[in-house]
Structure formats: C-alpha cells, structure tokens
Structure 1
Amino acid sequence: MHHTTPADLLTTALGTAPAAPLLTYYDDATGERVELSATTLANWVAKTANLLQEEFDIGPGSTVALALPVHWQTAAVLLAAWSCGARVLDTAAEDDGRLDEADVVLAAQDRLAPLEEQGVEELLGLSLHPLGMGMSGYVGSARDFALEARVHGDVFAPWSPPRPADPGLVLGELELSLAGLVEAAAELAGRLGVVEGDRLLVDVRVAAEAGPVAWLLAPLAAGASLVLVASPDPAGLAHRAGTERVTATLGVQVEGVRELGRGA
C-alpha cells in the first residue's frame, strides 16, 4: 500500500496484525497498564475523528492543538486529527501563543485552567484515566473528551479526504505536510534502525522531546509496536522488557536489549 498520510500507517498495521498489541502504556508511578491492539487503537481513532469532524468541523485546512503528554490517548488524538486531514499544533509549552490559531484545543485536565483564562473557546479536556473514563472534579467550560468520543461511531469516513500536501504538523519552527510526516517517519525509522516486528520500549520523557514523528509514526512506518513507560522504575525495566518481549529501547538502557540511535 502506498502511504500518503499518517492514517495510512494505522490502516497497514490493522491489515498486518489486527489483534496483536500495538501500543502498551505503563505508568510506574500509578501502577497503570493499558494495552491496545491495532483494532482497539483504530476504534479510538475513529471515534475521536468523528467527534472532531462532527462537533468541530475539523477537516483539511483545520488546525488541532494539543496540550497533552505522551500517552496512549494522545496517540489516538494525533491519528484522528490526521485522519481528518488537519494540521496538528503540538504545544509542549504551557503558554504557546499560537493556540488562538487552533479550531479546537485538546488538553490534559491539569492544563485546562490556564487555557480557559486565555479565552480558548473550543476546548476538549482529557482525564487521561487508564480506563478511558471522564474527568472528575472538573467544573470549567471544557467538554469532556472521554464522554464525547464514546458516543461517536466506530467507523470514520472523512467528508473531505486528507490532502497529502496539506500541513500535518507544526512543532516549534518545523512544519511538515501529511505526506512529509510519513516520509520523515520512514526515514527516521531507517536511521534509528527500527525494523518490522520490533517491540520498542520508550521513556515518555524522551518521547516528548523527540516528538510524535519519532515516538508514534516511525514505529508505525516500520511495522513495529510500542511500549511507552511513564515514570519508569529502573529496577523493574529488565523484567518489563522480558515480559513485553521488547526487542529495542529508545531513551532507556536495558542490558542485553539494543538501544536505538546508539549505532548498535
């Protein structure tokens, strides 16, 4: 299949190994573990894309801003925005002045207050709850992503198909088209040495610095799967790598497992 947009990468994963774990997320601070197959991730992506399209008119030419940590739900949001053909503004900084360019902002619950003060109107809040539950103890104006996404359809058909040449990601000064994201992902996967069937263990802090092309799209482009770990407990990493059948790491060192980007 010819990959022209990031959504095509997920379609390929679905066709190759629909039931195998594609994205596993751990938070060692909370003991949380969430595992998504390609089928489950695609379901979240479709529901989110339908939510963005039907409630916020997101399509080619739209801008979706994210104020989210690296997380399994963030993966679904990114792929959903790109499935609509939208440009993603990934704002690592709390006070990114370009948020007013966005047609909708998706933010972690703990980042909603400053956004509301900024006067951001189209705001979706994410609890980032392990079971995909809604926000608790929140009284602001943002809509609740988990509750809103749940009622949308499991199959997504864009009203206007994504245009490969359209902007796909703005990260600092860098801007990539939808097709450019796929090209960059494949090139980066090759440079890092990610191969088909790899299972990558990635520290979310490193992933956040590297950006979504590195932590999400490069593994998808290579046909690899992901184990994202927040607040990794160094004492448990070797055991984790064993039980998850990890073949390579990014940003963490596990004895006996090859570390990507270290010139193996």
Structure 2
Amino acid sequence: MLASLAVADPARPLLTYYDDATGERTEVSGVTLTNWVAKTANLLAACGLVAGDRAAVLLPPHWQTAAVLLGCWSAGVEVAFHSAATAGLPRIGPGADEPVGAVFAALDRVRDIIEDVPEADHRFVLGLGPMATPLREVPDGYLDYVAQVRGHADTFRPDAQVRYTDAATVDGTTYEEWGRGARGVAEAYDIRAGDRVLIDAARFEHPIQWLLAPLAAGATLVLCANLDAGALDARTRAEKVTRVLRG
C-alpha cells in the first residue's frame, strides 16, 4: 500500500505530522517514508531478527511510529502493541511466554512506565523530537533509534519474501487480514483515493485507524497530536484537507 502511493507521486507529502503542544510540523513524502521503512527493516535484520520474530512497539501515533511499524512488517516481524487504544490486541510484557526480539519505546514510556517495557535483546528508544533529532541522553540499556537507523541502507531486500498468509501481529492476524480490515475501516470512515485526511491522534490511536486505513484507500495523512481545535479551520485550508476524523 505504501509503495503504490510512493510510486504514484514520490515527492507528494504522504504524512504531515503536527504537535500543537510544541508547534512542530514535519512533512514526510512517500519516498522519504519508504526510505525510513527500509532503514528500520535493515536495522532489524542487523539485530538478527528474521520473519516470524517479534517486536514490541510502545509508541504513540507519529510519523516515526509509521516507519517502525511498516519496517517491522517489511521484515516479516510480528508486532505487539502497547496502548490503551489497542486493548483488544495481545500484550507482551514481563513474564510473557514468547520472547521479544526488539522493543521500540517512546522516551516518556521508558522513564515513567518502565515496568511496562518487556525484556528484549535489542531495545530502542525514540525521543520523537522535531526533525528526528538524536537524543542528548539515552537511558541505560537502550540505543537511540534515530542515531542507529540513519546508518542503514535506503532499500531493503529480505532473505525470504513475506507472504500474505504470514502473521503480522502476535495474535496470528495475517497481513491479508490486516489489509482487509484496513480497507473496511477506510470504507466505514468514507476515506477515498486522493483524500487528504486530517486525523486527531488522541481520538484515533490504533494503527489501523491513523495509518493503515488511509494507506489502504490511497489517501494521504495530516496527523495531529494535541490538536488545537482553534487551529482546525486554518489547517484544513492550508493542508487542502478533504476529510476530518475527530471522533
């Protein structure tokens, strides 16, 4: 889904991220996001993870989260989510029966909810700062995702092709089932090809809502954290938004 959008218009803004609490605006084209996805998949491969291994993702809706999720899936790595919005999905945590090969965690989660971070051979922390700036200080036991991922190649060639029938998440849901679900969500929200969709990240935290459904429909995203309702009309005009999801 990502490739079809990126090929159609590589320079077009595919995901524009706002954080109204900090004033950040980051615009990511299809080709740029594709490069970050490939770098993430290569990072996982360098860690020794292969298709069927597992990664825990403790990240909020964010353009870097999109790169991590799509990078895991490009490498065939099964994902476990940690979020109140994903309560219906399986949880991997301390004491889980199945091992986790890698963890991607937001800095605030590492600092404040450390007991919620599972053990793993490879732990990456994301500051989620503007312009993907590296962290000045990295918590013990972690590597800075941004600093690590930048050194990897912009293309990814898996050793084995990921199949539609392979599991994409740790509950066994396949790539085909996730794709079908994403298309269903897009239809439910009336997201169509060519749409520019503004999404309130606080209301739509599940990746199938804020990421996969727009991609499945052939739409681009304006993802807004800490959305300022007073800025909504002006932003809708400036970003040429055609569809608004606010709950």
TM norm structure 1 = 0.84
Consecutive unaligned residues of structure 1, counting only runs of 5 or more, are 1-8, 253-264
| 1:109 matches 2:107 | yes
SS of the aligned residue for 1:167 comes to coil
Q: Distance in 2 between matches of 1:96 and 1:175?
A: 20
Q: Distance in 2 between matches of 1:158 and 1:166?
A: 14
Q: Which amino acid aligns with 1:200?
A: V
Q: Which amino acid aligns with 1:122?
A: H
Aligned pairs, number: 238
| 1:147 matches 2:164 | no
> Which residue, out of 47, 54, 67, partners 1:63?
54
Equivalent in the alignment of 1:10: 2
Q: Which amino acid aligns with 2:21?
A: A
Deviations 1:157-185 (A, max 9, x none): 11121122121124xxx652111111111
TM norm structure 2 = 0.90
Q: Which amino acid aligns with 1:237?
A: L
Equivalent in the alignment of 1:48: 40
Q: Is the 8 A contact 2:197 2:219 kept in 1?
A: yes
Q: Distance in 2 between matches of 1:116 and 1:204?
A: 22
Q: Is the 8 A contact 2:100 2:119 kept in 1?
A: no
Structural mapping, 1:17-166, within 5 Å: 17-55=9-47, 57-92=48-83, 98=96, 101-113=99-111, 114=114, 119-166=119-166
Deviations 1:188-238 (A, max 9, x none): 212221111001110111121xx1112111101111000000111111110
Q: Which amino acid aligns with 2:221?
A: L
Residue 99 of structure 1 and its aligned partner are, at CA, apart by 9.2
Residue 121 of structure 1 and its aligned partner are, at CA, apart by 3.8
Q: Distance in 2 between matches of 1:127 and 1:100?
A: 27
Distance 1:35 1:117, change over 3 A: closer
Q: Distance in 1 between matches of 2:97 and 2:150?
A: 26
Consecutive unaligned residues of structure 2, counting only runs of 5 or more, are 85-91
Q: Taking every aligned residue pair, what percent have the same amino acid on both sides?
A: 40
Q: Is the 8 A contact 2:38 2:156 kept in 1?
A: yes
- For structure 1, which segment, 183-192 or 112-121, has the greater mean C-alpha deviation from structure 2 after superposition? 112-121
Q: Is the 8 A contact 1:59 1:162 kept in 2?
A: no
Q: Distance in 2 between matches of 1:49 and 1:119?
A: 20
SS of the aligned residue for 1:207 comes to coil
SS of the aligned residue for 2:202 comes to helix
Q: Which amino acid aligns with 1:230?
A: A
Q: Distance in 1 between matches of 2:19 and 2:157?
A: 33
SS of the aligned residue for 1:134 comes to coil
Distance 1:244 1:97, change over 3 A: farther
Q: Which amino acid aligns with 2:159?
A: W
- For structure 1, which segment, 23-32 or 135-144, has the greater mean C-alpha deviation from structure 2 after superposition? 135-144
Q: Distance in 2 between matches of 1:97 and 1:128?
A: 28
The alignment yields a C-alpha RMSD, in angstroms, of 2.1
Distance 1:189 1:66, change over 3 A: same
SS of the aligned residue for 2:3 comes to helix
Q: Is the 8 A contact 2:123 2:142 kept in 1?
A: yes
Residue 116 of structure 1 and its aligned partner are, at CA, apart by 9.0
SS of the aligned residue for 1:162 comes to coil
